[in-house]
Amino acid sequence: MEIKEFYDYNKEIAKFKAAYALVEWDMRTKMPPKAAMDRSEVAGKLARTMFDMETSSKMAAFVEYFNRPKINEKLNEIDRRNVYLVTKEYRRISAIPPDKFEKFTIACSNGENVWQEAKAESNFSKFKPYLEEIVGYLKEFVEYYGYEENKYDALLEDYEPSMTTKDLNKIIAGLKAELVPFIKDLNSKGNAPDTSILKGNFDKNSQEKLSREVLDAMGYDFKGGRIDETVHPFTIGMGFGDVRITTNYHSDDMTSALFSTMHEGGHALYEQGVSEAYKWMPIHDGASMGIHESQSRTWENLVGRSRPFWNFFFPKLCEIFPQFKNVSSDEFYKAINLTKPSLIRIESDEVTYNLHIMVRFEIEEAIINDRIKVADLPDAWNEKMKAYLGIDVPDDAHGMLQDVHWSGGQLGYFPSYMLGNLYASQFFFTAKKEIPNLDSEIANGNLKVLREWQREKIHKFGALYDPKDLLIKVTGEPLNHKFFMNYVREKFSKIYF
């Protein structure tokens, strides 16, 4: 048995994954409403085909052969890592009965379509039976996967390898102890910036132009992707050379689409930066969703909401939206950095964002461990939002229906956002040490110097390393929330005090 046979077989699976991604993209962007139910069956069939290939006797033979000690030790680093990732996935999904997996995929496709309707109507009861079905499957899968300490660990593994609920609780405890008092100080003692300058009527075509301008400045390759509109912004890759971005435009707030575009652009730069040598290989992917989020949050916040960036980009903004010509770049910079407890996660500020993630993590962990029922989700959500952010939730659309993730069965994903914030600050601290003039480069419009640093240090490796190992390789130390806290303290103290 040759390693080429292993790669050829996995290439065939990767082609089906690309087709599935294209169907998923279409369902969330261009698909007419009447096609929803039938298209869900198409998605289910593709998912079942991939499942069958990934759990076939042929795959079992590859896993058995290439994990023989005498064979495995002869493999090079890249081959060994590919075998490791395939083996891990094989052992994980082969534990699930094929019919269950196909039904789960169909349930998620249907669930996402109904979620969109339920959100538009702010009607949780419409979505409830679909979410109950999805959660039911996930609870079954957890038992098939197995776990050591906490059922939630089995779901975390899909998004953040080697991370456990115990690890997260420890990270959250340290972060919360410093973050909550700082937020209270900002809101009780600080001078909040004037955000009225951000309101107005913003033409959609002009917003689209602004989004393309910022993506171009970031170094996004439009020949290898595109940008479209959707309800909930996302980025999706369809094989090498096709990484697509979506955003959502609001007529009364141009910053929402701008920052979601930069966020998704960060994801896309990661996908576009993976080594071409890894094409069709299992490692042609990100190290984890947390590392992926670190790249998107870097561009959205550490760059996009920074003073150097607006020294460069503010004139471009004024060209497209002349109403800002009577506003200074400093006023604009402060306005986009308001920190205030808010209802919507994707529109929350850098300082309070992690509290939104803590709410979701605690609810997910409780659901999977049977301490909360799906029917009780709105009440649990509203109580935690009040406890963590001091906010009363007015309706389901602004509450637990605001995110798409649960409708797609992605319980375990949300902690990646918080980890992404922490990773991002630690990576960026290192980048500024290694590029001493990074701020001035950004202020002069040379954003690609950061992209190239990310590409060399992070992107090109794809999934060659686990996230913990990659973080140490790049920054020299394990995850430390102090980098995030030092960053927000320095930045927001200057704005507020």
User: What is the set of active-site residues?
Assistant: 264
Query: How far is Cα 420 from Cα 443, in angstroms, rounded to an integer?
Result: 24
Strand, helix or coil for residue 247: strand
Q: How many residues does the chain have?
A: 497
Cα separation of 239 and 491, whole Å? 39
Q: State how far the alpha carbon of 44 is from the alpha carbons of 17, 23, 49, 197, 389, in Å.
A: 12, 11, 9, 47, 39
Q: Encoding tokens for residue 361?
A: 């993590």
b vs e for 180-201, b when ≥16 Cβ sit within 10 Å of the residue's Cβ? eebbeebbeeeeebeeebbeee
Q: Element (H or E) spanning 244, and its range?
A: strand 243-247
Closest by CA position to 405, among listed 253, 239, 232, 216: 232
DSSP letter string, 74-123: TS-HHHHHHHHHHHHHHHHHTTS-HHHHHHHHHHHHHHHHHHHHHHHHT-
The angle, 0 to 180 degrees and rounded to 10, between the axes of the packed helices 353-368 and 124-145 is: 70
Rounded Cα gap, residues 63 and 69, in angstroms: 12
Report the run of H or E that residue 368 belongs to, with start and end. helix 353-368
**Whether 163 contacts 214, CB under 8 Å:** no
